[in-house]
Amino acid sequence: MTNKIDKNDGKLNEILLVNKITRHELLNVLNVISGFLEVFKEKKDYKLLDKIFDAIERGVKLIDQMKELEKLVVYEDALKPLNVAEIINSICSKYNIDFTIKGNCTVLADEALSTVFDNIIRNAITHGKTEKI
């Protein structure tokens, strides 16, 4: 029980850190946008609009990245080491297609990885008319 509480406290601290970093970075982006808008109001320099849109895009990307990082922290228990060669071997055998696997690696992922590879291989066979993978 204590281990689980400690683990949850650790996750909470990680999420709080992600939140703190995100707030800081977003504040920087908003300050940049605000500064460019002030200059734009005075000088009507339309070139600044590109910089404003770039800053907005950076802010959106930052939010997306932090969302992904948060998922990793919150759902890390769902991730486990998976052998990519074994997954691909199993999928290719199912489709009765010639295949060669070079190398061997293990990745930290959830079971959805198998679905991703299955979709890629099925599309290669169906749409790419491949006979060998």
Phi first, then psi, for residue 82 (nearest 5°) are -125, 140
Could you read off the pLDDT of 36-88 as tens digits, one per residue?
A: 999 999 999 999 999 999 999 989 988 888 877 777 766 666 778 999 999 99
| pLDDT score at 97 | 81
By the 10 Å C-beta count (0-12 exposed, 13-18 middle, 19+ buried), 92 is classed as buried
Residues 45 and 39 sit within 8 Å (Cβ to Cβ): yes
Q: From CA 86, how far away is CA 105, in angstroms rounded?
A: 10
* pLDDT of 31: 95
Query: Domain spans of the chain?
Result: 2-77, 80-126
- What is the percent of the chain where pLDDT is above 90? 30
Q: Which residues pair with 132 in a beta bridge?
A: 98
**Model-level pTM?**
0.48
Among 118, 26, 121, 116, CA closest to 66 = 26
